[in-house]
Amino acid sequence: MSKIKCLCGNVISNVSAPSNTDGWISGDVANEHSQEDFRNLVSALLQTVNEVERSKFLTKLFGELYPTDLHDSEVIDDIRDKVFSSRAKSVAECNKCGRIWIQLTAGGQDYASFAPDSGDECLGILKF
């Protein structure tokens, strides 16, 4: 999602990041699978004992253009992002009416909207 026109007429945009109106949602089963995949991939990374194995592992996981000289902490961040974003659905909040828009399928372009039952106390629900 880069922009959604809310039913109230407001345009929700996630062009700038981090955003107080954008987030992610996933269910328990998706989270369990993501956590298992994350553990397995980090374990596989840590088992690469030399640069050649590490380079092959990273190329297989991320593709030819992925830099193979990154620090392990950066690679682990990228593994986390890859695993969790493949199952999580984007969530956007209208900062005018509080309506929540949820992506129907991870990576998809279609969203469903849900309006709050109450008024202004729901605005900013995604803010930290």
- Decide the pairing of beta strands 111-114 and 89-93: unpaired
Do 100 and 6 meet the contact criterion of CB atoms below 8 Å apart?
Answer: no
Ranges of H-type helices in 4-125: 28-47, 51-62, 72-85
Q: Model pTM greater than 0.75?
A: no
- How many CB atoms sit inside 10 A of residue 3's CB? 10
Helix (H) or strand (E) holding 89: strand 89-93
Q: Where are the domains of the chain?
A: 3-26+89-122, 28-85
- Type of residue found at 52: V
Residue 102 has φ and ψ, to the nearest 5°, of: -120, 130
pLDDT value at residue 1: 56
23-76 pLDDT, tens digit per residue, is 888 888 888 888 999 999 998 888 887 888 889 999 999 999 999 889 989 999
Task: Tell me which DSSP letter residue 31 carries.
Answer: H
The CA-CA-CA angle for residues 27, 28, 32, to 5°, reads 120
Q: How far apart are CA 15 and CA 113, in angstroms?
A: 20
